[in-house]
Structure 1
Amino acid sequence: MISTAPSRTRGIAGTGVEPEPFGQRSTGISPSLNSDIDRLLSLSVRPHTHLIEGRLTLVTGILVIYFPDIWDDKHMKVETGTLDGVLIFIPTPYRDERGLFTRTFDASIAAAHGLDPVSFVQDSQSRTIRGGIRALHGRAGQGEAKLVRCARGAIYDVLVDARPDSPTYGARMSVTLDDESFAHLYVPPGLLHGYQALTEADVCYRIDREHDPAEDISVRYDDPDLAIDWPLPVTAISRRDLAAGSWRRVRSVLEAATPAPPEA
């Protein structure tokens, strides 16, 4: 759609685009206007324009050009993790001389992959120094689903499947989340989660149940049975995480609390 907004401005310096008389609004695209648009888009320096989310806007308010929306499912790749139910949403950032723009979450794409976007009720953010570890955390009972992304810096993110009835029970996976790929990790209920900051990093979480400290479970980051190969020397970890239990103990508690499958 192309339209002109009322303006008394007499043209745009360096573009050759002249406004219509004040108060008039265009109803179509004339050949001359098409020529002006082509010339405008060919400029190597366009100080009066902004291209944001696929829209070119002349900031003087004379001309607005809407291109087809660049943010559709073709620009948000969805990969499956090696653990059952884990998804990784990978957007395609739009980059230009100003920097970049990216969509970090899209409810319609999430819903198409089986998530309930409206179920996420709490957002949190952490900042961790390089080498710092936050791990491994989970939740008993119904568990909680979470969306995790790194808003600044980079982290080495680890998941352990703590669901006794899962086909990938006891397995683990790792993925790097950073502020270049903007990958968004979906963690289904029943998994242990932790990460190490590869740089100073800001991490954002969205969870689908209000946090209840009484349901927290944790496993030490250096548990010998899990044998996670953290990429950096540990520079910081909380006393709480150092006091976490072993994977073997947590596993026995989870298995005891899981109902036996019905007999065939």
Structure 2
Amino acid sequence: MPYTVTPTALHGVLILEPKVFGDARGFFFESFNARDFAQCTGLDVQFVQDNHSKSAKGVLRGLHYQIAHPQGKLVRVTQGEVFDVAVDLRRSSPGFGKWVGVLLSAENNRQLWIPPGFAHGFLVTSDSAEFLYKTTDYWYPEHERSLLWNDPGIGIDWPLEGEPLLAAKDAAAVSLAVAPSFAWLPQR
């Protein structure tokens, strides 16, 4: 198998670790192969958009989601390290309001699959990080929402050193108690 797939504590969120072939010259791995992804995860998804960001240490992006046109995301880091977080916003799920966090880095080559119906964010823990992700739907700014990164009702244990650097929309985000959520989405 080209990936090792490990389920997380939240149903549907998966850690994927690709097979890396390396020697004295460097390394090679397939970061994505649709056939292998479907075979290893049992998911039949189509990605329509790739995004790439670079952020400095202490930048916290998120927790973002789209209330209409929800996106599944396959995320990874190509430079540096981040603490990546998914929060279940599917009211029909036993995991509603719970979170899972995973260290993703250029060193460990891990990827995280986050199904539609989750808020997503990450904190840069290295000097800088480049973050790439594929989405199953397009970005619709009118449908984007932000869940408060430090909502005590969720209790994410971010590995912070001081206060994070936030975008204005993330600083103005709302708590889970008032955030729009998903009445029902398949628990893939």
- TM-score w.r.t. the length of structure 1 is 0.65
Corresponding position of 1:228: 156
Structure having the higher strand fraction is: 2
Residues 191-244 of structure 1 show CA distances to partners (whole Å, capped at 9, x for unaligned) of 011110011100001111111011111112111212222112234211111011
Distance 2:181 2:166 in 1: 25
Residues 146-202 of structure 1 show CA distances to partners (whole Å, capped at 9, x for unaligned) of 110011111001111000011321211110001112111111000011110011100
Distance 1:174 1:129 in 2: 19
Which structure 2 residues correspond to residues 78-93 of structure 1 after superposition, within 5 A? 78-93=5-20
Distance 1:166 1:229 in 2: 22
Corresponding position of 2:33: 106
Corresponding position of 1:96: 23
Look up the equivalent residue of 1:141 and give its one-letter code.
A
Which structure 2 residues correspond to residues 121-160 of structure 1 after superposition, within 5 A? 121-160=48-87
- TM-score w.r.t. the length of structure 2 is 0.90
Match for residue 113 of structure 2 among 155, 176, 186: 186
Look up the equivalent residue of 1:247 and give its one-letter code.
L
Look up the equivalent residue of 1:231 and give its one-letter code.
P
Corresponding position of 2:130: 202
3-state SS in 1 of match to 2:178: helix
Distance 1:90 1:121 in 2: 22
Look up the equivalent residue of 2:166 and give its one-letter code.
I
Distance 2:104 2:58 in 1: 15
Distance 2:136 2:155 in 1: 29
Distance 1:106 1:168 in 2: 29
- Bigger Rg over Cα: 1
Runs ≥4 residues deviating over 4 A: none
Match for residue 145 of structure 2 among 211, 217, 227: 217
Residues 124-161 of structure 1 show CA distances to partners (whole Å, capped at 9, x for unaligned) of 10111011100211111341111100111110011110
Does 2:90 match 1:163? yes
Larger relative CO (CA 8 A, sep 6+): 1 or 2?
2
Structure having the higher helix fraction is: 1
User: Contact 2:73/2:136 (CA < 8 Å) preserved in 1?
Assistant: yes
Identity value in percent: 35
Distance 2:37 2:30 in 1: 13
The unaligned stretches of length 5 or more in structure 2 are none
The unaligned stretches of length 5 or more in structure 1 are 1-72, 260-264
3-state SS in 1 of match to 2:94: coil
Distance 1:144 1:230 in 2: 23
Distance 1:219 1:170 in 2: 11
Match for residue 177 of structure 2 among 234, 242, 248: 248
